[in-house]
Amino acid sequence: MSKKQYFKTTYTVVVLTEDIPLEYNNLGDIYQAISEGDASGEITDEKSVKLTGPECAKALKAQGSDPEFFGLDEHGELLDCYEQCYDDTLESNIDDDLQLLT
């Protein structure tokens, strides 16, 4: 049984501008307009909900991402070797970090 958990977090960003509305559709440009441009903005709401594997796979596909990004197949089930591969990678990274400290 997998210990992996998946979450969908939604932020509401309110942006105030003069003369014309802000028409960006990516977070980098919105951040730039708020932090260094002629716009004022703030996050007014944040909501996180827990997703099942199938819900997460569906949400990833809706965003144009592959479910394999989180080690899932198209139905939201963990890929066969994902947990073992993940555990091996984690253990290897820990070993590498420990060697750097010694």
Please tell me which residue, 30 or 2, carries the higher pLDDT value.
Answer: 30
Question: For 1-16, what is the mean pLDDT?
Answer: 88
- The Cα-based distances of 20 to 14, 28, 38, 71, 91 in angstroms read 15, 19, 11, 43, 52
Q: Which tokens belong to 63? A: 């965003």
pLDDT digits (tens, 9 = 90+) for 38-91: 999 999 999 999 999 999 999 999 999 999 999 999 999 999 877 666 555 556
Helix (H), strand (E), coil (C) string for 33-93: HHHCCCCEEEEEEEEEEEECHHHHHHHHHHCCCCHHHHCECCCCCECCCHHHHHHHHHHHH
pLDDT of 36 over the 60 cut: yes
Q: What is the pTM of this model?
A: 0.68
Instruction: Compute the distance between CA of residue 2 and CA of residue 4 in angstroms, rounded to an integer.
Output: 5
Q: So what's the pLDDT on residue 5?
A: 93
One-letter identity of residue 85: C
